[in-house]
Copies of this chain bind each other. A is one copy, B any other.
Amino acid sequence: MGRGRGRPRIEKRLEDIIEVAAAHFCQRGFAEATLEDIALELGMTRPALYHYAASKEELLMKCCDWSFEQYIEKTQNLFVEKLNGKEILKKFFLIYSELVCDDVGRCFISLSARRREAANQASPGKQMRAVNSTLSQILDQGIADGSLAGCVDKKATIAALFGAFNSLPTIIKPKSKSAGAMGARLLSVFLDGLAPGQ
């Protein structure tokens, strides 16, 4: 059934493959995921995958790069409307929550940077630093405009926020529509604080 190149957009197939592969990598881990299973779910056989990626590692890289591109695309307009830091923070983590609950979206975040560094050289570190730096900017802005507390421990805050939000997929079921809502609740925990009011 359906071989040959009959599909309108040729690149579309690669995206399908990335989507399925990313899901397998994220859910089962890189080593545990098998190309056999990925191919099966796509309705093709394993060797066909080698037309789209020269190796399992390269497939992983493509997943992560695609994932990162999505992140960039969704976050690049954060600063265009002139919101205050706190509002940008909310927007950022709404986007981040939805991204991290999506198999493709969270790919570059979840998959061990160690393995990716083996394959690729630089990008994993660079990508994570880019994400970190966006949050850092947001905090700076919030502190400057007074919408966030002035005395925040930035390093600890960044670590705590990403730690918490990266754990989202373990607390809500995958493909759940509640990613954004749960993300908002998480952020409230950080904004309000646990100390008794006043």
Residues of A within 8 A of B (CB): 28-29, 31-32, 86, 89, 112, 114-115, 142, 146-153, 155-157, 159-168, 171, 182, 185-186, 188-198
Q: Are A190 and B190 in contact (CB under 8 A)?
A: yes
Q: How far is B166's CA from A163's CA once the two chains are assembled, in angstroms?
A: 7
Pick the contact of A167: B153, B159, B168 (CB < 8 A).
Answer: B159
Whether A192 lies near B195 (C-beta < 8 A) is: yes
CA distance A114 to B150 in the complex (A): 42
| 5 sample A-B contacts, Cβ–Cβ < 8 Å, listed by A number | A86-B195, A153-B188, A156-B188, A190-B194, A193-B194
Q: Are A164 and B160 interface neighbours, CB within 8 A?
A: yes
Interface of A is mostly: helix
B31 touches A196 (CB 8 A): no
Nearest-neighbour CB distance to chain B for A2, whole angstroms, equals: 33
Partner of A190, one of B28, B115, B193, B198: B193
Q: Which B residues are in CB contact (< 8 Å) with A147?
A: 196
Name the 10 nearest CB pairs between A and B, nearest first.
A193-B193, A163-B167, A31-B31, A163-B164, A156-B185, A160-B164, A160-B189, A159-B171, A163-B163, A191-B195
Report yes or no: B148 in contact with A196, Cβ–Cβ below 8 A. Answer: yes
Residues of B within 8 A of A163 (CB): 163-168
